[in-house]
A and B are shown apart, each in its own frame.
Chain A
Amino acid sequence: MRLLIVEDDRKLAEFVARGLRSESFAVDIAGDGREGEGFIDAYQYDLLILDLMLPRLSGTELLRRVRKSHPTLPILVLTARDATDDKVAHFEAGADDYLTKPFDFAELLVRVKALLRRTPQERADVLRIGNLELNRLTQQVRRDGRRIELTAKEYGVLEYLLSNPGRVFSRTMILEHVWDQSFEGVTNIVDVYVRYLRRKVDEPFPVKLIHTVRGVGYCVRDSVSAAE
């Protein structure tokens, strides 16, 4: 899979590229709109990651042109604007997805994979880690065969963490996924819910599954399977 990043901020582009390469994607970087256009004409890409604020040729203009020449190429737009207006405008101009800076790399990866349709199987009905089991159909959670009663938000947090075991989810990602953007910045709301979740899911058991990564967020990990 070959990806092109069109981003004028070298450091950001390289950081994203490095992360994607470690997920075994081939990644090219173009530093401005014109260079990006040249790359797109010269090579065959599976996905385009496009910053909207570009020198020489604006991302918005490039987006329009690429949509015309490559109607099926998935395009993920990176932008520092998050007004709903802009969002609508960019979807209309042909963006497939949209990520607002500052973003978590994990979030970017989720979106990239989704756009590449690499992860259609992630939606299993039953999620399992260690002896913890979450059934998406009945919305029941069991550990060691015992039923655990969770509130809707606690269930939401746990389901999100379990959707990708071992991956660290930032508070912002959890907030946006389980609550919504309005709660960004609300004092430790995620921490409170995770604490309550732990009390029910982890406390009665010797093996702890929910882990805190300071400054980053939370992840669900079976300590046996991912020994540090």
Chain B
Amino acid sequence: MNHRSLAFRLAVWYALLLSATFALVGAGMFYGLEQYLRSGLADSLRRRSTQIEQILSEAPVDASDSTIVDSIETRLAPEFNNRFVRLTRESSGLVYRSGVPADRSFDPAAIPPSPPPWPARGIARRVGGLMESTKAIDTPSGRYLIELGASLAPIEAVQAHLVRLLGMLLPVLVACAAGGGYLLVGWALRPVDRISQSAELMSLQDVDARLPVVPSGDALARLSISLNNMLGRLRESVQTSRRFLADASHELRTPLTVIKGELQEVVRTETMSRELHDRIGSVLEEVARLEHLVSGLLVLSRLDVGDAQREWVDVDLAELSAGTAEQMRLMAEDRGIRLETAALRPVVVHGDRARLKQVIVNLLDNAIRFTPRGGTVTLDTVVNDTYQALEIRDTGIGIPAAAVPRIFDRFYRVDEARSRADGGAGLGLSIVRSICGAHRAEIEVDSEVGRGSCFRLKFPLQA
């Protein structure tokens, strides 16, 4: 699971928010319930207190204490109802105290007496584990203090139960929320995923491709539509620049033919001084370079447009490169360079034979050009589980690490002076890259200054 993904973060926030809400609601419920239960208890105590008041006020002035006690026990049954009742007369002290309650939740004898002064209006207070309601009344037979109590334990038991229940529900709820949230976000983002997958498959080769538009009428639909519009504009600008490149190199060819032709005719037919002859010859050499440059540009613009694959056949790179090396062997030997092809093993790829040959020629030409006398240029093949590759290694001057990422750029030269003097147009490697791109091959370059370079063309195994 990606911890930085939108889905993950949204789910976490969602879970946090939900837990906080749940905790707040839980706390509210807890205190609300407590208030409710306590006020209910206080009410019931007050009602009992009123009953005792009635008993006292209805009793004749000369009624004995036992009569009062009897009617309290009959009317209230405090032990049975788990209530505490204590009646005190100001003049003579304790009149009645209830016994041990049925549930034995408190000890009546241990309840401390209410401190004076006696409240004229009933008050509720908390004494030990009891809620006590205390009230003083005046009757013809004297001033009495009525104390009524009930254990808080049942309320506390309900509260504890509630806390346990909430504590158990919270993790379950958070887990459900997080999981559900993650799934929901994932589901909501699926169209975005589809858009990005289609975008991933696009390349400059098929600029006409469009992203699927989600018909949801919301931000997603607008996103895919605006991406498509952007693709449209991008396509136009790519096509304009390609057309320009193709047109420009194309337009240059006719005048080049005329310049070359006329000059060649002059050299062939006119009698002239040696110096003039040499000058025209030098111009012609530059024309040849221009010609090479223009045809390189044209090849590139064509590769940009994307080659038709109908000429693709199975090509054995080993056989092709061995043959190509043979055609260039003398050139290498002339420079005192050994051309090694013994290690080649068959590597069959599907592609355009002429273009693949162009790749090999360009890479071999470079290797030979940048390897000093006495060096070796080796052609090798590598086959493993995921790819098959052709390697062109040299013991040449190498490429500085900083330059490696740029060597495939058009017109880039590692050593300006040297390559120009050699007549390189600076297009060879970018043609190599374009052709490899069209064949879905990857180019790897290992190079060390002073030790040599290795160009590896990796063709993915056909699935």
Contacts and interface: CB of A to CB of B under 8 A. Distances in A.
B102 interface: no
16 contacts: A15-B262, A15-B265, A19-B261, A83-B302, A102-B257, A102-B291, A103-B257, A153-B330, A182-B354, A186-B365, A187-B424, A213-B268, A214-B277, A214-B278, A215-B282, A216-B268
Contacts of B257: 12, 15, 101-103
A91 B294 CA distance: 24
Contacts of A61: none
Contacts, number: 133
Among A11, A103, A185, A213, the one with the most B-chain Cβ atoms within 10 Å of its Cβ is A185
B166 to A, nearest CB: 76
Interface in B310-354: 311, 324, 327-328, 330-331, 334, 354
A84 B311 contact: yes
A185 B428 contact: yes
A193 B331 CA distance: 7
Contacts of B287: 215
Interface string B256-282: 111011111101100100000110111
Contacts of B354: 84, 180-182
B59 interface: no
Q: Which 6 A-B pairs have the closest CB atoms?
A: A215-B284, A214-B281, A215-B281, A102-B257, A101-B253, A102-B256
Contact of B292 (A81, A106, A184): A184
A35 interface: no
Contacts of B311: 84
A216 B422 contact: no
Interface residues of B, number: 54
B253 A80 contact: yes
Contacts of B361: 182-183, 186
Among B298, B308, B330, the one with the most A-chain Cβ atoms within 10 Å of its Cβ is B330
A82 interface: yes
Contacts of A15: 257-258, 261-262, 265
Interface in B192-251: 250-251
Nearest to B262: A15
Contact of A189 (B267, B284, B328): B328
Given A19-B261, A83-B302, A214-B278, A185 B292 contact: yes
Interface of B: 250-251, 253-258, 260-265, 267-268, 271, 277-278, 280-285, 287-288, 291-292, 294-296, 298, 302, 308, 311, 324, 327-328, 330-331, 334, 354, 357-358, 361, 365, 368-369, 422-425, 428
Interface string A172-198: 100000011111111111001101100
A181 B324 CA distance: 12
A130 to B, nearest CB: 21
Given A105-B261, A183-B361, A186-B365, A215 B283 contact: yes
